[in-house]
Chain A
Amino acid sequence: MSICKKTVTETAELLRTRKISADELVKEYFDEIKKKNPDINAYVTICEDEAIKAAEAAQKIMDSNNDVPYLCGIPMTLKDNICTKNIKTTCASKMLEDFLPPYSATVYKKLLDSGTVLLGKLNMDEFAMGNSSEHSIFGAVHNPWNTAFVAGGSSGGSAASVASNLAAFALGSDTGGGIRQPASFCGVVGLKPTYGLVSRYGLIAFASSLEQIGIISKDITDCGIIMNVITGHDPMDSTSIKRPAEDYSEGLGKNIDGIKIALPKELFGSELEKEVGNVINDTLKRLESRGAVLSDCSLPTIENAIHAYYIISSSEASSNLARYDGIRYGHRNERAENISDLYRKSRTEGFGQETKRRILLGTYALSAEHQDELYKKALKVRNIITREFRNAFDEYDIIAAPVSPVTAFKLQENLNNPLKMYLKDVYTVAANLAGLPAVSIPCGKDKKGLPIGIQLIGKPFSEKLLLNVGKQIEMEAGRLEII
């Protein structure tokens, strides 16, 4: 078995017992990347020289020190909207094609401090707007299970890299499902933590009140181990929460007797493909046989979550992306005659079609005639949805649902129908509106051989419980591995 197929836990053991050195390990990964990336298109930047140096340094630490961080020497990778000092961070946009961040994101610093080695940066939908990773100046990410299909998005490169063993784990970002849906499409674990638990400092902003950095990993245990490193209060992020540290990897797989799991009927609606629904139901039955108590429930307003999400996220995007003026950084039109022309031409050339569409949607929603109507209405709906979740969590421990109504769709299939594409986010966006933690766990495949994921949503800061129940699903379904 290729060493790149191993989990973080297995790889850490090999490093600790000197079965392989950190520099040999990264070289194995780069061989794999060179072999597979041309077909998958997960990486947009490869940091080979830097990674080999970092791996040699990690090996020295392991050789000379007894107190070595657990992740020392583990090869990882980051979505290209997470700032890495002096390493290109493009957001898969012409706007930031040459952007070299003058600082690093807090999560990246934390990962470096724990000895991990950055292999490169990952493809995505431009500015994280999309769910297929097709809206990228670098071309679409291909699903490693079948390259005619999308990898999902917007963290498509993150999911595809982990699924095809081009990194031991990856970080992505989730604004409306951007980690969970590609994880589901690619058969890996994807966790969106509670809003505020992981610092967003250095994450290039799309919709600040919704997005969180999270993890894509090969299994649940790895996810817990990485959570231990990336969580924690950060004075550089004013929405970062102060709370005592937890050990997310401890106690995984323990008894789930009596854990109450609710199934909202609105998240098992008519849009859910039968095959996906069957696999999800089968998985839930297996959780029941392990002691979980299943109940039907209703979150009546969640059907409007998709409307509220697109209005709020596009509004925040139009405001956040106003910073791109072509002057201090980002693409600049060279022929502009005056300042206003410079803004317009630089933005017109720098943003792709989907990004422009979202900016226009947001500008429309926030314009004087509509602000009271649309944006405020969406915020009221957000409040109601959050309250409905809170009420449900008074009674239940976890809400379970599909991640997506479908498995991965064909490349190009939905590109010309943005609304159809947006509606595929129907099961994931509510967790972002309410700031709740949610995890996607692989639980089976459809007839085409494409992975299916189940989603567990929890109350704020219940990641440990989510991972524990997720572990039970993993023990039943096993890891999905590409042969």
Chain B
Amino acid sequence: MTVVDVKTVRKIADMAAVFIEEKDLEAYAAQLNTIMEHMGKIMDLDTGDQEPMEHILPVKNVFRDDEVTNKNIKDELLKNASVKEDGYFKVPTVVE
């Protein structure tokens, strides 16, 4: 059973915002298909009315008092951006 084909890879690559070159699509599809066929065996397991467990701990929101605990580190944060201007991150035009 083929679950992942070239068409699927093209689609999920688009959703994940990565390009897979045409020449590599077949190879990616074959590998992902082999992997998913194997991992898909999980579907054969009877899980009854078991609840899905997203997290091992009972995860709750953690709140703290609304106090300023850090200082302005704008310049430090901008240091890692490769393109910036006048203290801002710079991106290509978004709205014409």
Contact A327 B15 (CB under 8 A): no
Contact B47 A377 (CB under 8 A): yes
The 8 A CB mask of A428-451 against B (1 = contact, 0 = none) is: 000001110000000000000000
In the complex, residue of chain A having the shortest beta-carbon distance to the beta carbon of B9: A360
In the complex, residue of chain B having the shortest beta-carbon distance to the beta carbon of A305: B42
The interface stretch among A9-17, A54-62, A289-297, A336-344 is A336-344
Contact B41 A357 (CB under 8 A): no
The 8 A CB mask of B65-94 against A (1 = contact, 0 = none) is: 000000001001101111100000101111
**How distant is B63 from chain A, measured CB to nearest CB, in Å?**
10
Known: A345-B19, A360-B32, A367-B15. A307 touches B53 (CB 8 A): no
Docked Cα-Cα span, A343 to B80, in Å, equals 16
Residues of B near A238 (CB, < 8 A) are: 59, 61-62
Contact B43 A373 (CB under 8 A): yes
Docked Cα-Cα span, A337 to B51, in Å, equals 46
Docked Cα-Cα span, A311 to B3, in Å, equals 15
Contact B53 A235 (CB under 8 A): no
B23 at the interface (CB under 8 A from A): no
Interface residues of B, count at CB 8 A: 51
Residues of A near B6 (CB, < 8 A) are: none
Known: A238-B62, A381-B47. A328 touches B80 (CB 8 A): yes
Known: A339-B94, A359-B16. A327 touches B89 (CB 8 A): yes
Is the contact region of chain B dominated by helix, strand, or loop, or is it mixed? loop
A128 at the interface (CB under 8 A from B): no
Residues of B in contact with A (beta carbons under 8 Å apart)? 4, 8-9, 11-13, 15-20, 28, 31-32, 34-36, 38-43, 45, 47, 50-57, 59, 61-62, 64, 73, 76-77, 79-83, 89, 91-94
Residues of A in contact with B (beta carbons under 8 Å apart)? 98-100, 102, 195-196, 209, 235, 238-239, 241, 301, 304, 306-308, 310-311, 318, 322, 326-332, 334, 336-345, 347-348, 351, 356-357, 359-361, 363-364, 367, 373-374, 376-384, 386, 418-419, 422-423, 433-435
Q: A304-B45, A351-B18 are in contact. List 13 more A-B contacts (CB 8 A).
A: A99-B80, A100-B79, A195-B56, A209-B55, A310-B35, A326-B82, A332-B81, A357-B31, A374-B39, A377-B42, A380-B47, A383-B52, A386-B53
A–B pairs, 14, beta carbons within 8 Å: A100-B79, A238-B59, A239-B55, A241-B57, A304-B45, A332-B82, A337-B92, A344-B17, A344-B19, A360-B9, A364-B12, A374-B42, A379-B53, A386-B53
